[in-house]
Each structure stands twice: as structure tokens, then as C-alpha cells.
Amino acid sequence: MKKKKVICGIQQLGIGCKNANESWAWYRMFFGVDVKILGDEGVAERMLPYTGGKPQPRYAVLVVNLTGGSGFEVWEPRGRELNYVQFTPQLGDLGIFAGKVKSGNIEGAWKMMKDGGVNVLGDVSVAPSGKRHFFVMDPWNNLFDIEEDDYVFLNEGKMTGGGNGAILGVSDMDKSVEFYSKIMEFDKVEYDKSGVFEDLACISGGSYPVRRVLLSRSKQLEGPLSPILGTSHIELVQRLEGEGVPAARKLYEGRLWGDPGFIHLCFDIRNMEEVRKDCEALGHPFVCDSGKDFKMGEADGHFTYVEDPDGTLIEFVETFKIPILKKLGIYLHLDKRDDSAQLPHWLLKCLRFMKTK
């Protein structure tokens, strides 16, 4: 029987930083990502086109919030000087402009972060979807959009859930919509609006006219890890021409993958070869391929990368094995399971025993 491509959801948002443990401590405190799926020190040797043509030492942790949502891969390059973005990113600049985070209690999350000394940008406002949200800046100038969202996998009483997607700057909206709709199956247009938006006024470049498209998936959740990853969406923003409006700049121009900032958006998938076929058919072949023998810490899998129409790095990961009760030597082996079926919720909830306080 022919295997089909399964997009399980957004697995994680990659964040380059100077000190992974310090960054994770902050994300754990304010975004509740207290379960470490893996931590690994090694050498990034399969991303050579984006690491200056040579292997680069690194340390990384993959962390999740079991309330539900995607995780964060907090990535620390080692053994080289970091190259920071040399300008203030503005709405519509090309690449991953902001990460999105779920919240089942938007007013409570706003107050918790404000009281905790977080750099909260403005008040709670209303997006074109009708959902409430607000923006925060982490201590390393990464922007996050905290969004009202009622998806729950495990109710732990937290003010936020996990990741909810990202805001990406694009240069040609129609090309980008086609790319994310056909390959990632984010095929449902929640809104397509143009203008200057009041709910964006508090962020850099928020006064520029833009075209703003929110994409989500029409399919029901499927795949082994999809109950944790949950629903998510992708917000594409194209800066429109106008008097005094600067041209969009690439956020990673002249920098290496892993340098501080949002380095990639990663999708959890099943059946990599089917993903490969779809990418090639749309003119976006894999630019990096780990092969099926890749290991990262306690996990096994197969990762690949493509570039979106503006060169933003998109990762696909087909996971074969992850630890679930590492102290007891218990692992989830996913390579022989039904690709579309969800793992039992009780089994996935065992990940709570891997929490870090």
C-alpha cells in the first residue's frame, strides 16, 4: 500500500541564542516549556550550506509545554563568534519575524508577564480573526505574539500553552500562500486583509501598510504526536509600497544558521519521501538532508530543510524514537506505527515525568 504524506503539525520554532540554558530558563518561566524532550551537545555537520561550509559545534535543547502547542528548539552555537542582526527588524522584513504562543487566559498571561518584568509591548488588542492577543519581547530581542487560544492537551493551570505558529515576512504573498498551502497543508485562509492595523501599532514597523494573511489547516489533527502539537497557524505579512515605506530586508542576510534569532520553523511529518516529492514538484527541493541515520541525544529521526520563496529555512522532521521515561529506559518507537493514528493520550501524558522545575 502506498504511504501518504502526513503533516502532524508544527513541531518547534528554532531559536538561536548565546546561552541555551539561560534562554530556556526564561522561556520555562514565562511560556511554561518545562519538559525537555532532548538535550544534545555535538557538531552540526549536515547543514554545511548554512554554517559557512564547515561543521559547527553546538548545544541544543528541545522543550515543550504539555498544555499543548509546538515546542522550542533552543540552539546555542559554540566555538565561533555570533553574528547578530545589524538592524532593528520591522514588520514585513523577510523571514521569521515573531513566534506565536497560545494562551487560554489572555488577560492573566498579560498580567503575569507584566508583573514579572517582561517587556510587554502595549495592551491586549484584537486581531482581524476576532481573537485577542498581545506582543512581548524576550531579553534577547526576539518578538512573541501571545494569542488567545483554547486548545488544551493537558490542563496544568498555566497562563500559556506552547507555540502557535509564527509571523513570517514575505515578498510575494501569492507565492508564499501557495508554498505553505500545498506543501505544509496550511490551506485554510482565516483572513486576507490589507491596510494599517491598530493591533500592530505597538511593534516595530507596525505603522506600515501591509497585506496580512492568516493560514490554518482544514484537516483534522493526525499523526502520533499531534495531540501535543495541537492546532497552529502561519501569519504571512507582505509590506506594501507607500511614501516613506522602506524596502523589506532579509533577517538572516549574511549570517549563519544558528546565529541569534529565529532560525527555522519545523514541521513534524511522516513519510519523508512523499514530502520530498511534493517539494520538488513545487520547485523547492531539499537543501539539506540528514539521512535516516541521524541521532540527536536520545532521539532518532530524519530531518531535511527547504527554503520558502524568500529563502526562510523550513525544517521537516520524521521522528523514529524519543524518550518518554528516560530514567526507566522507556522510549517511544514511532517508525512501525500507523502514520496517521494518534498515540494514546495517556502514553503521551507520561512526558510530564520529564519536567524540569
pLDDT of residue 294: 64
Mean pLDDT, rounded, of the chain = 93
Among 278-282, 329-333, 334-338, where is mean pLDDT lowest?
A: 329-333
Q: What is the per-residue pLDDT across 254-303, written as a single tens digit (0 to 9) for each?
A: 999 999 999 999 999 999 999 999 999 999 999 999 887 766 556 678 99
d(CA 331, CA 342): 16
- pLDDT value at residue 108: 98
All structural domains of the chain, each given as residue ranges with its CATH number in brackets, are: 6-354 (3.10.180.10)
**Residues 118, 136: contact at Cβ < 8 Å?**
yes
Nine-digit cell string for 90: 520591522
pTM value is 0.95
pLDDT tens-place string over residues 84-132: 999 999 999 999 999 999 999 999 999 999 999 999 999 999 999 999 9
Taking 90 as the threshold, does the pLDDT of residue 24 lie above it?
yes
* Angstrom distance (rounded) from CA 205 to CA 45: 36
List pLDDT tens digits, range 149-201. Answer: 999 999 999 999 999 999 999 999 999 999 999 999 999 999 999 999 999 99
pLDDT band of residue 12 (cuts 50, 70, 90) is: very high
Q: What is the pLDDT of residues 290-310, one digit of tens each?
A: 887 766 556 678 999 999 999
Provide the pLDDT confidence category of residue 335 given band limits of 50, 70 and 90.
confident
Rounded mean pLDDT, 229-233: 97
Predicted confidence at residue 262, as pLDDT, reads 98
Contacts of 322 (CB under 8 A, 6+ apart): 37, 38, 298, 299, 331, 332, 334
Report the percent of the chain where pLDDT is more than 90.
81
CA dihedral 252, 254, 259, 262 (to 10 degrees): 0
> pLDDT tens digits for 31-46?
999 999 988 888 888 8
What are the residues whose beta carbons fall under 8 Å from the beta carbon of 138, sequence distance 6 or more? 23, 26, 27, 118, 119, 144
